[in-house]
Amino acid sequence: MAKLMGGSAGLHHVHVQGAHMQASRPPSLSFRACAQLEISRFCTTPRFMSVKALSASQQHTRHRFSSIRASALPCMQDDTTRYFDFVVIGSGVAGLRYALEVSKHGSVAIITKAEPHESNTNYAQGGVSAVLCPKDSVESHMQDTIVAGAYLCDEETVRIVCTEGPERVKELIAMGASFDHGEDGRLHLAREGGHSHNRIVHSADMTGKEIERALLQAVENDENISVFGHHFAIDLLTCQNNGEIFCYGVDSLDTKAQKVVRFISKVTLLASGGAGHIYPTTTNPPVATGDGIAMCHRAQAVISNMEFVQFHPTALSDEGLPIKPAKTRDNAFLVTEAVRGDGGILYNQSMERFMPLYDDRAELAPRDVVARSIDDQLKKRGEKYVLLDISHKPREKILAHFPNIAAECLLHGLDITQQPIPVVPAAHYMCGGVRAGLQGETSVRGLYVAGEVACTGLHGANRLASNSLLEALVFAQRAVQPSIDHMVDADADPCLAEKWARPVLSVSIRDSALSDIIERTKKTRMELQSIMWEYVGIVRSTNRLKNAEWKIGDLESEWEEFLFRGGWKPATVGIEACEMRNLFCCAKLVVKSALARRESRGLHFTEDFPYLEESKRKPTVIFPTAIQELTWSSKPLQRQLQCK
């Protein structure tokens, strides 16, 4: 916990809107929570109703809580309250891998916003970086990670991830994930920008999809795991005791049945992904609206490094395709880093190679360098995209390595074995998020984070290619044992679930007013995205960031006024408005953090402070108690209880 709140040198002081605050060190993380046991038979939508055989120690744990389980029954009025040992929010690699481990010790609910496969993991093309070649080393992987992260990475975290990563990959293979092999029968290891060795384990250009498939299959076969699809997480359920905050689950909106479902748990893992949709063009799926980061901020968790938004240099530019898509995409189509790792060359539209002008590593420079270089070319030349050419490679190798990209381009009249690919930068990955310790713990007791929603210190100011799936796997595993310890120690008030007020569905608002609210929300969302792209993009300035802060504040006020004038109440929920609420929250966190960093480092480049400053080599950290905002997006729907 000391690392979480203070940690290495430079973490004891924090930036909030440019001001420094002394960080306090809370007590250790061990506690006896007031969470509730699961009653799995009350889950009407999941597939699993029985509990598989448990070890003797696990049976003892279940016997210990049998009286609590029985006493909870009178408190349950209907099927809108569910009890589990563990609740996992998100169905990407982090959430699924964690669920499969903790399910050996108790009941697990996976809450996912859409279909279980719809996650950032499913869209990850490149692969998982891991030291699996004898010529490679942990020290080399560490060095590449730290250099890419502009020396802002936490060295202890980097060592842990690079050391434990290979074992996590082997576990995936043992579970049935299929990765590409070379002619010698060994794993084919690719190379991507920023890496000094071939260390990317991949499945063609659909690695994330293959990992997601294997994990979902394992979840399907696990009788202790219940999956709740189309459940949108609204807010965490918290209470306070002696100055510390405890998490006991989450309220969710069942978007199919149109009802609010409350999940009470002894342990909550948040693995909800990033916030790519604060920008108009992103490689993230539509579900990536920053829900987890916003919920944690409202629950008073510590947030860190939100200024570091990674723009992937090479998303497919529909503008440059011979046949334009029939409709606007929900998310940009990613052209993996591995294309450049495999020899792809970037040209402007005059077919002039430009990357050597910006960096000696040319196309293999880290993503922040490549994205800024492309951005500079586009602005100087007044063009809308650049070209990525891999056609000089043998046709059969291109089609073998990048079948998904080749098929998508061919669908729109472009043959990548003969023609260059039009590409443009797009918002891709949040290197910041909810501040996590070395076991995924947060400043809220009983709440753990893993994956893109977390800020572990691995990525620093810029994520090294293919380190994201690796980090998710490592921290999902590291969060398991402390989560089990919390679960075993849990004590509960059986009627805890009824102590928080219930959110109210938006269907209570008259149809015409609700329709107007939904339309206004869609318009507001596009306006926010436009502000973020224009003022908080790849290249920033203090003046533009301040303009963004002012414009976002005004836009949010106008939107909220429209909502409440139309009959909306503070406890009303609807998916469009709740997503908008989270987008506003995350956008403001990005702007605040960007204004606080008065240097250019990694993904944060500002014209006013264009150089690295050694004295500024510290994370930006936002303690929510220092932010006095009264907007709807910044306050939880339920008041915080006092634990007894």
Question: CB under 8 Å to 394, separation ≥6 — which residues?
Answer: none
Question: CB under 8 Å to 478, separation ≥6 — which residues?
Answer: 160, 164, 438, 439, 440
367 among known catalytic residues = yes
Cβ 374 vs Cβ 335: under 8 Å: no
What letter would DSSP give residue 24?
Answer: P
Q: How far is CA 167 from CA 126, 131, 173, 360, 560, in A?
A: 19, 10, 10, 34, 49
Q: Please choose, from the candidates 163, 164, 94, the residue with its C-alpha nearest in 3D space to the C-alpha of residue 454.
A: 94
Q: Please choose, from the candidates 127, 305, 282, the residue with its C-alpha nearest in 3D space to the C-alpha of residue 204.
A: 127
* Rounded Cα distance, 13 and 621, in Å: 8
Interstrand relation of 504-505 and 128-129 (parallel, antiparallel or unpaired): unpaired
What letter would DSSP give residue 207?
Answer: H
The two tokens of residue 616 are 């500024």
What letter would DSSP give residue 353?
Answer: B
What letter would DSSP give residue 26?
Answer: -
**φ, ψ of residue 268 in degrees (nearest 5):** -125, 130
β-bridge mates for residue 89, sequence order: 111, 270
Cβ 18 vs Cβ 595: under 8 Å: yes
- Catalytic hit among 82, 367, 581, 601: 367
* Rounded Cα distance, 578 and 492, in Å: 30
Tokens 């920023």 locate to: 194
The CA-based angle 92-601-531, given to 5 degrees, is 65
3-class DSSP assignment, residue 447 = strand
Cβ 89 vs Cβ 111: under 8 Å: yes
What is the chain's Cα-based Rg? 24
Q: What is the 3-state secondary structure (H, E, C) of 62-83?
A: HHHCHHHHHHHHHHCCCCCEEE
3-class DSSP assignment, residue 410 = helix
**φ, ψ of residue 363 in degrees (nearest 5):** -65, -15
The two tokens of residue 338 are 């591995």
3-class DSSP assignment, residue 177 = coil
Sign of CA dihedral 81, 87, 89, 91: negative
CB count within 10 Å of CB 74 equals: 9
Number of H helices, E strands in the chain: 19, 25
Residues with catalytic function: 367
